[in-house]
Structure 1
Amino acid sequence: MLCRANDNATLPRDARLPINRCNLPAVVLGGLTYQQHPSPLLIDGVAELHADLFRRLNAVPAEARAEVFRDYLTVHFRLERPEEMGLSGERRGQRQSRAKANYVRMIRGWSFDSDSREGAVLKGWVESRFGLMPRYHGQSLRDPSGDAYRRYLEMRSQGLYGTNALEAQFDLVYAYCQLDLALRHPGARHVTLYRGVNRMADHEVLEKGEGGRYVILLNNLSSFTCSRERACEFGDYILAVNVPLSKIFFYCGLLPGVLQGEDEFLVIGGVVDVTLSTI
C-alpha cells in the first residue's frame, strides 16, 4: 500500500497558481485526496451566464443534446459570422484563418499534436480556470523563467490572438461535458482510463509503491483512452488511472465528428495514484 499521509499527496507548490476561476483552489483539486474523493468543479459564472443553454440541454433527449450545444455556441459566439463580433481589418486569408480558430479546431489540433499551438491554448485554459500549471509542452516547463516556458507562452498567445472568446468557448465545452457525463452515468464518480508509456522517467514520479503502484504528477492536460487495447499501441507499458469524471474536459463521443478514433479522453491533471503494468 502507498502511504497517503505525506507531502506526495499534495500538489507541489511550483505546479499551481494561488488563484483560479473555479470553486476549489488548485491545491485541493490537484491533490491525491481529490482523485479519491472528487466533487464537482464549477467554473465561475458559466452556469449563471448560460442558464438558458443548460435548461435546453436538460429538456431534450440524449441524442439531441450535441446538436443543441453546437447550435448554441455557433449563435452565441457568432462562429459563422465573425464580422458581427468585430473581426475586421485583416487580409481575407488571415480573417478566415482566425475565424476558424474555434473550440472544434483547437480540440482537433490537440488530437494531432498536444505540443502544438492548439495544445498550448488548451493548457493555458486549464492554467487559467483551474490554477494547474503546465509541466510539459515539447520540453519541460518546470522553470518558468526558461526559454521553453517563454515559447509556450508565445504559442498560447498566438493561438488566442484574434479569436472570439476562445477560452469562454472551452468553459462551455467543459460544462457541457460534465452535464453529459452526469446524465449518462448517474451516481458515477470515476472512470478507469489508460495511457501507453515507454518509461516512467518521462513522468514526474512523486512516490513508488509495490505492485506497480506509483503516485505521479500529470501534465495539466493529458490524453488517455478508455480502451486498454488502444493504449497498448502507444507504449510498452500501460498506466491505469481511476480518473474523476469531474476531471474530464472532453471525450471522443461527446460531440460526434470532432475526434476520430482512439477512444480519446482529455483529462485535467494533478497528482494521481496509478498502476503500471506490462502489455
Structure 2
Amino acid sequence: MDDEPVQPHRWYSTNLVGVPSQVLSSTLFNAHPLALSIAGTRETHPGLFHLLGRCASLSDAAEVFVHYLDIAFGLRAPADHEAATLGPAERRRWRSSWRKLLQGWGMDSNGPAGAVLKGWVESRFGLVPIHHKAPLAHFPSAGWITYLEEKTSSRLHNNNIHQQLDLLYEFCQWALQRFGLPGLAAAPARQLRLWRGSTRCDEQLVAGALQNRHCTVRLNNLASFSLSPDDAGCFGDWVFEAQVPACKVLVFPGLLPGQVLQGEQEVLALGGDYDVVARYV
C-alpha cells in the first residue's frame, strides 16, 4: 500500500458543470475555455431570467436580481407590521446571505465566510482548496479539520446558501454575456486580462521561474484578482498577469449594488493552474 500522504489537488471530484475538475483546473482549459452552467439552476428559476431578459442595463438587472433573492430566500428585513407577528425566535433568526458571505470574504478570505465560499466551489466545480488559514497540502491535517468545520458551520452555512451562490454565479455569467465587463469589455469576451498580487509565490509555483517572468502558478480554488496591475500591487510583492476565462468569474466590479467586496476593483474567480506573466514590484 502506498503510504505517501494524499495530495488533495489530485483528487478526482464530481461536479455540477459537466467538465471534469482536472480539466477545469488546467492551463489548457484557461487557454480554450468552454461556457459553464451549474446544472438545474436556471431551469429552477426561469422567472428570474425572464425578468432579467427585459432589463436594458446592468444596474436594472442588478436590482431585479437582488429583489428576487430577497423574496426567494427571505433576506429582506421584515417591516414593522410583519415583525410584530413574529415570535422572538424568528425575529432573532440568522439568515445567511450571498451578500454577507462576499462582505466576509472582503474582510478575510481565510475566515468562516471564505470557507463557505471555497466549499461551494468544491461542491459545484469539483475544485479542492489548497489554502485556508494554512496550506492544505495533505489530508488529513489540522488545517483540513479547521476548513471542514468552518465550511459546514450553521452560522453561515444555512438558508440554502449554496443555491444562493448558484444564482449569483449564473447571474454573473448572464451579465457578462449580455453587457460585458463594464469599462473594459463592452462585448462578451472569452477571457479577461486580470492581475493578482501575491506574497506566497513559493507555495504557488508549479512550473517555470518567477525571474524568467513566464511561469505557471496554482491558485486557490477561489481567488481574488484586480482590474489593474497597480491595484494588484497593493496585495503582494509579485504581480501576476493572467488571462482568466470569463466562465470562471463569480463577481466583478459593478455587478451588484452597494459595497459588496472590500476592494472596489476586485474580481472573484475560480482558481486552478494559471500561466502568468510575473513582475516584481
TM-score range relative to shorter protein: 0.7 to 0.9
Other-structure match for 2:206: 206
For 1:66-113, what per-residue CA distance to the aligned partner results, in whole angstroms no more than 9, with x for missing partners?
A: 00000110111122379x9xxx998578x34x22x2100000000110
1:268 and 2:264 equivalent? no
Other-structure match for 1:239: 240
Other-structure match for 1:8: none
Q: Is the 8 A contact 1:15 1:134 kept in 2?
A: no
One-letter amino acid of the counterpart of residue 206, structure 2: L
Provide closer, same or farther for how the CA distance between residues 121 and 160 of structure 1 changes in structure 2, counting only shifts above 3 A.
farther
Q: Is the 8 A contact 2:199 2:236 kept in 1?
A: yes
Shift of 1:202: 3.6
Shift of 1:161: 5.8
Other-structure match for 2:40: 45
Other-structure match for 1:277: 279
Other-structure match for 1:72: 68
Matched position secondary structure for 2:100? helix
Q: Which moved more, 1:173-182 or 1:225-234?
A: 225-234
Question: Where does the alignment leave 5 or more consecutive residues of structure 2 unmatched?
Answer: 1-6, 181-186
Q: Which moved more, 1:159-168 or 1:187-196?
A: 159-168
Q: Distance in 2 between matches of 1:90 and 1:271?
A: 49
Matched position secondary structure for 1:59? coil
- Which residues of 2 match residues 26-175 of structure 1 at below 5 A? 26-62=21-57, 63-80=59-76, 95-96=92-93, 98-99=94-95, 101-159=96-154, 163-175=158-170
Aligned residues: percent identity? 36
Matched position secondary structure for 1:155? helix
Question: Where does the alignment leave 5 or more consecutive residues of structure 1 unmatched?
Answer: 1-11
Query: What RMSD, in angstroms, separates the aligned Cα atoms of the two structures?
Result: 2.3
Q: Which moved more, 1:109-118 or 1:42-51?
A: 42-51
Matched position secondary structure for 2:153? helix
Match of 1:23 among 15, 18, 25: 18
Give the number of aligned pairs: 260
Q: Give the structure-1-normalised TM-score.
A: 0.86
Provide closer, same or farther for how the CA distance between residues 190 and 159 of structure 1 changes in structure 2, counting only shifts above 3 A.
farther
Q: Give the structure-2-normalised TM-score.
A: 0.85
Shift of 1:125: 0.1
One-letter amino acid of the counterpart of residue 181, structure 1: L
Q: Is the 8 A contact 2:113 2:156 kept in 1?
A: no
Other-structure match for 1:224: 225
Q: Distance in 2 between matches of 1:270 and 1:74?
A: 32
Q: Distance in 2 between matches of 1:238 and 1:26?
A: 26
Q: Distance in 2 between matches of 1:31 and 1:13?
A: 15
Q: Distance in 1 between matches of 2:189 and 2:16?
A: 25
Provide closer, same or farther for how the CA distance between residues 90 and 150 of structure 1 changes in structure 2, counting only shifts above 3 A.
farther
One-letter amino acid of the counterpart of residue 217, structure 1: R
Provide closer, same or farther for how the CA distance between residues 165 and 41 of structure 1 changes in structure 2, counting only shifts above 3 A.
same
Other-structure match for 1:3: none
Q: Distance in 2 between matches of 1:154 and 1:72?
A: 31
Q: Is the 8 A contact 1:121 1:160 kept in 2?
A: no
